């Protein structure tokens, strides 16, 4: 009896948020007086499993097989389902990434287990797992609990739980076999085209977001540019917001208006139909703060709003508000930070 | 041959959603809309049904309020709509939803493709799509941004998926469960004639007995919904010349220890 935690990897390395899943797994495991078993699948599984022992797992399972090298839902899901069916853990925990979400749901369906998704708080009471999660685009909280015996599949929001501190490893790594052979896997990857400059908004501790107002760039578009508005906005994202993100080591977000207008790609969109983020610091630049935008960033620890309109709704949720022109304030802020942080 | 898609009504995304003193969720007088993510799946169902020469059916699970979403779907051009309602499905949890939805797909004939939107904007878990795929035993392709080819004779499909790190082209056998992203198409607006036709349509309602399915044991309960704790932050406005604002803001952010 244990709590299983799936450690998501990328290129043979653990994603940093995966250790948060170990932290959440320990919360549940402590409630039942059991240990945490990390499960690592794919490239360098044994190496990452060894590392999991340093981050608080009391044992680890590793499976490295040619069918598992990179993440594939169809190949990964049955391994976790089989572990749950065979070992009846109290819980299976994963971070609510795209992969974590689909694996947890698959295991719940395969094994008729409870599922609690995208939770931000966890506890164990009377032998049941109790979880809180935001619903209705973060406008409300729901508190749900597992019932009866059996395993609870849990996905946790990134940055909602603390990763255990790295310490000395104890426990051992066991190797387990894959479940499906390549012949019985019905989905086949034909090609993959990596996109340069991927954005990792959900993991970011600092996010600088730009809105529609980024098109009010005072710089003139060069002659012959087809769409001056788009050029100005793209220039503003690259040369006004990016330098600020660079000094802070932050990621770039955007409002839907900015994405829809073609200023920046959809991968950057924050909000109800974009990403939900909760960084330590969120700086909203020329974003009015529509309710659908708030839905994606309201759980940020400190929100700074920079907007020329003192009546913009974003000021109602900000901790610090700066009324003024982003094209003056942001460069001043970048310069100030460079000086103060000694960069 | 047919394509099945699922949808439901959700509160308008601009609605003020609250928990009343009775613990029930209200969204004031605001209307409901078809779950915005599903518009892309509905559009794709219409397009692909034409493409393979089959029909497109839309299903909602839940009470009468979801008929709105079904009427919208019919007005867009879906061929048929069905609603599934049963006292045993109230409230519905993931497992029972998946069991009912899978039974409904099995009741329909010769289903090649089951389409979903990314998630439901209100409870938004996107777990339903996955659970149905597993209950049906169909392969699953999430985040599909383009259907490149469907070969019904060979029983295969090729799609492009937009993943966090890039674009993946992948093939699968049919039937398959797919969830689509907003890049896949531009959903059409219902035509005037479509709206007229849909308003007259009677939508069949199936019970669990009609589906011949019994539900798995309920594994989760929602204990309570609550409003967000009031935001304790007061906004502090930082005035002055840009350079002064910048300096004061950095002072504050250093105090907050977020840099
Ligand atoms: C179903 C649905 C889902 C949606 N999902 C999302 C979502 O996921 N994310 C999202 O963001 N939106 C979403 N929206 C859209 C949302 O309602 C707003 O339209 C959008 O957030 C507005 O973006 P914005 O703040 O950039 O633009 P605007 O509202 O136009 O605001 C621009 C702001 O920039 C300020 N400004 C302009 N120039 C300057 C300058 N030089 N200096 C300083 N300030 C300046 C203006 O004062 C203004 O406040 C959704 C809408 C719907 C209906
Ligand atoms: N009760 C329901 N009836 C029909 N479709 C639903 C229902 N609940 C969720 N869906 C669909 O399932 C997909 C994923 O939703 P969810 O898992 O709730 O985020 C979306 O396309 C939803 O519209």
Per DSSP bridges, beta strands B166-173 and B156-163 are antiparallel
Mean pLDDT score across all residues of chain A: 95
The chain A residue lying nearest B163, using CA atoms, is A98
What b/e string do you get for A200-222 counting C-beta neighbours within 10 Å, with b at 16 or more? ebbbbbbbbbbbbbbbebeeebe
Task: Return the minimum-mean-pLDDT range out of A132-146, A323-337, B222-236.
Answer: B222-236
Between CA A31 and CA A129 the distance in angstroms is: 9
Instruction: Name which of A195, A320, A339, A343 to mutate to probe chain B: the one with the most chain B Cβ atoms within 10 A of its Cβ.
Output: A320
pLDDT 10s digits, A206-228: 999 999 999 999 999 999 999 99
> pLDDT band at residue B218, thresholds of 50, 70 and 90?
confident
Cβ separation B225–A333 shorter than 8 A? no
Helix axis angle, B192-200 to B67-76, nearest 10°: 140
Token code pair at residue A128: 């049941």
pLDDT tops 90 at residue A131: yes
pLDDT 10s digits, A257-275: 999 999 999 889 999 888 9
Nearest CA to A108 out of A156, A151, A147 is that of: A151
Q: Looking at residue B82, what DSSP letter applies? A: E
pLDDT tops 70 at residue B203: yes
Mean pLDDT over residues B155-165, rounded? 93
Residue partners of A26: CB distance under 8 A and separation at least 6:
A3, A36, A56, A164
Count of residues making up chain B = 259
Cβ(A189)–Cβ(B170) under 8 Å? yes
CA-to-CA separations, A55 to A34, A63, A95, A175, A203, in angstroms, rounded: 16, 19, 15, 19, 18
pLDDT tops 90 at residue B119: no
Between CA A335 and CA A149 the distance in angstroms is: 58
pLDDT tops 90 at residue B124: no
Between CA B34 and CA A120 the distance in angstroms is: 28
CB contacts, 8 Å: A145 with chain B: 220-221, 223
What b/e string do you get for A80-100 counting C-beta neighbours within 10 Å, with b at 16 or more? bbbbbeeeebbbbbbbbbbbb
Cβ(A248)–Cβ(A268) under 8 Å? no
If one compares A136 and B110, the residue with the highest pLDDT of the two is B110
pLDDT 10s digits, B125-143: 668 999 999 999 999 999 9
pLDDT tops 70 at residue B222: yes
Cβ separation A328–B242 shorter than 8 A? yes
Ligand 2 near B62 CB (within 6 A): yes
pLDDT at A179: 97
Cβ(A91)–Cβ(A151) under 8 Å? yes
pLDDT at A29: 97
What are the structural domains of chain B? 2-211 (3.40.50.620)
Cβ of residue A85 closer than 8 Å to a chain B Cβ: no
CB atoms within 10 A of CB B91: 9
pLDDT 10s digits, B31-70: 889 999 999 999 999 999 999 999 999 999 999 999 999 9
Token code pair at residue A163: 């990763």
- pLDDT > 90 in chain B, percent: 76
Between CA B100 and CA A100 the distance in angstroms is: 24
Four-point Cα dihedral A216, A218, A223, A227, nearest 10: -10
Q: Which of residues 177-206 of A touch B (CB under 8 A)?
A: 186-195, 198, 200, 206
pLDDT tops 90 at residue A4: yes
pLDDT tops 70 at residue A198: no
pLDDT 10s digits, A72-104: 999 999 999 999 999 999 999 999 999 999 999
pLDDT at B120: 86
Helices (H), B53-88: 67-76
pLDDT at A342: 83
> pLDDT band at residue B230, thresholds of 50, 70 and 90?
confident
Provide DSSP, A51-67: HHHHTT-SEEEEE--GG
Nearest CA to A281 out of A308, A236, A313, A247 is that of: A247
Q: Which atom of ligand 2 is nearest to the CA of B120?
A: 19
pLDDT at A126: 92
CB contacts, 8 Å: A139 with chain B: 16-18, 228
Q: What global pTM score does this model have?
A: 0.88
CB atoms within 10 A of CB A332: 19
Between CA A15 and CA A80 the distance in angstroms is: 18
Handedness of CA A181, A186, A192, A198 (dihedral sign): negative
Q: Helix, strand, or coil here: B168? A: strand
pLDDT tops 90 at residue B100: yes
pLDDT at B14: 84
pLDDT at A197: 59
Residue A289 — left, alpha, or beta (φ > 0 → left; ψ -120 to 50 → alpha)? left
pLDDT at A196: 66
The chain A residue lying nearest B219, using CA atoms, is A114
pLDDT tops 80 at residue B258: yes
pLDDT at A248: 95
Cβ separation B237–A323 shorter than 8 A? yes
Instruction: Name which of B15, B164, B231 to mutate to probe chain A: the one with the most chain A Cβ atoms within 10 A of its Cβ.
Output: B164
Q: What angle do CA B229, A28, A62 make, to 5 degrees?
A: 130
Q: Helix, strand, or coil here: B151? A: strand
pLDDT 10s digits, A20-69: 999 999 999 999 999 999 999 999 999 999 999 999 999 999 999 999 99
> pLDDT band at residue B122, thresholds of 50, 70 and 90?
confident
- pLDDT > 70 in chain B, percent: 98
């Amino acid at each position: 009896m244990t709590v299983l935690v799936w450690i998501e990897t990328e290129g043979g390395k653990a994603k940093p948020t995966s250790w948060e899943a170990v932290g959440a797994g320990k919360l549940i495991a402590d409630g039942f007086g059991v240990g945490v078993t990390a499960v690592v699948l794919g490239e360098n599984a044994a190496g990452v499993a060894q590392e999991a022992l340093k981050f608080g797992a009391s044992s680890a399972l590793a499976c490295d097989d040619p069918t598992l090298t990179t993440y594939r839902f169809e190949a990964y899901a049955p391994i976790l389902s089989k572990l749950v069916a065979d070992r009846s853990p109290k819980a299976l925990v994963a971070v609510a990434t795209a992969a974590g979400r689909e694996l947890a749901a698959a295991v719940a369906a395969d094994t008729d287990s409870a599922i609690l998704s995208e939770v931000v708080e966890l506890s164990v009471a009377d032998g049941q797992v109790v979880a809180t999660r935001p619903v209705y685009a973060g406008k409300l909280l729901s508190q749900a609990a597992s019932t009866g015996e059996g395993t609870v599949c849990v996905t946790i929001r990134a940055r909602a739980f603390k990763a255990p501190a790295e310490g000395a490893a104890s426990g051992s790594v066991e190797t387990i076999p894959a479940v499906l052979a390549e012949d019985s896997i019905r989905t086949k990857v034909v090609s993959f085209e990596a996109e340069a400059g991927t954005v990792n908004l959900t993991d970011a501790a600092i996010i600088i977001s730009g809105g529609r107002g980024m098109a009010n760039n005072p710089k003139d578009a060069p002659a012959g540019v087809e769409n001056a508005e788009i050029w100005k906005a793209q220039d503003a994202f690259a040369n006004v917001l990016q330098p600020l993100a660079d000094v802070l080591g932050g990621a770039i977000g955007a409002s839907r208006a900015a994405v829809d207008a073609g200023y920046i790609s959809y991968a950057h969109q924050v909000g109800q139909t974009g990403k939900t983020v909760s960084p330590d610091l969120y700086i909203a630049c020329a974003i009015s703060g529509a309710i659908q935008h708030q839905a994606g960033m309201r759980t940020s620890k400190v929100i700074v709003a920079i907007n020329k309109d003192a009546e913009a709704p974003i000021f109602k949720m900000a901790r610090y508000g700066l009324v003024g022109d982003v094209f003056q304030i942001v460069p001043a802020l970048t310069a100030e930070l460079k000086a103060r942080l000694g960069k | 041959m047919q394509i099945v898609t699922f949808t439901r009504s959700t509160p308008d995304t601009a609605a003020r959603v609250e928990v009343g003193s009775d613990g029930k969720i209200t969204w004031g007088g605001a209307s409901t809309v078809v779950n915005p993510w599903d518009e892309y799946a509905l559009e794709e169902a219409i397009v692909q049904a034409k493409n393979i020469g089959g029909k497109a059916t839309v299903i909602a699970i839940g009470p009468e309020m979801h008929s709105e979403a079904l009427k919208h779907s019919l007005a867009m051009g879906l061929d048929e709509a069905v609603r599934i309602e049963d006292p045993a499905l109230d409230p519905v949890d993931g497992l029972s939803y998946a069991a009912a939805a899978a039974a409904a797909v099995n009741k329909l004939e010769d289903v090649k493709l089951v389409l979903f939107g990314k998630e439901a904007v209100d409870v938004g878990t996107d777990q339903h799509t996955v659970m149905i795929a597993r209950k049906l035993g169909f392969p699953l392709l999430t985040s599909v941004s383009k259907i490149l080819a469907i070969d019904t004779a060979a029983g295969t499909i090729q799609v492009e998926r937009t993943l966090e790190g890039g674009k993946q082209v992948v093939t699968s056998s049919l039937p398959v469960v797919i969830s689509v992203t907003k890049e896949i198409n531009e959903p059409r607006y219902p035509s005037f004639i479509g709206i007229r036709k849909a308003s007259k349509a009677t939508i069949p309602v199936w019970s669990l007995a009609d589906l011949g399915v019994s539900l798995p044991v309920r594994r989760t309960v929602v204990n309570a919904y609550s409003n967000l704790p009031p935001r304790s932050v007061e906004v502090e406005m930082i005035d002055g010349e840009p350079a002064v604002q910048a300096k004061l803001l950095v002072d504050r952010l250093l105090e907050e220890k977020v840099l």
